[in-house]
Structure formats: C-alpha cells, structure tokens
Amino acid sequence: MKTDRAYPSALILQPSCFFERFAPFADAPGALEKTPLPEQRRIVAKVDQLMALVDQLEAQLTTFRATAANLLEALVAKLTAA
C-alpha cells in the first residue's frame, strides 16, 4: 500500500469535503468546523509523520518477506538435495 503524501494537506485546502465526510463522527454537530487552523495543521503534520513511518515499515516488511522466501527456498533446495 503506497500512501499519497498530498492527501493530508488536501484536507486543509478542501475543508468542506473533510467536514462532509467526517462530521457524522464528531461529538457535536459542527465540532470539526471549530478546530482552529493551527491545530488542523499540527494534526496534518502528525499524520504526514505517521504515514512516512507506515511507508518505512511496509518497505521493511517487503524486505523481510523476500528474505524469508529466499531462506525457505534455500532450505528446501538443501533438504531435497541431501
């Protein structure tokens, strides 16, 4: 899964789309609309940071899976050759 780094920033640029999607989940009607812009920016920065971490972990997982597949293949080859 590759993430779109522009997506969190787009939430600030298009707040009506964000509010329409997530307003039903707010505690009170219009609660998201009252979030100050600096707080929205802080949240977006944190989401960007976490998405970068997700990308790193996905890359590590892909590498680990490839290594495991190679080890398994080598083990099977060694056991069947014996």
| pLDDT tens per residue, range 18-75 | 556 655 555 666 665 678 889 989 999 999 999 999 999 999 999 999 999 999 999 9
Spatial CB neighbours of 29, under 8 Å, sequence gap ≥ 6:
23
Going from N- to C-terminal start, the domains of the chain cover 6-81
Tokens (6 digits) for 44: 């977006």
Is this model's pTM higher than 0.75 or not?
Answer: no
Spatial CB neighbours of 30, under 8 Å, sequence gap ≥ 6:
23
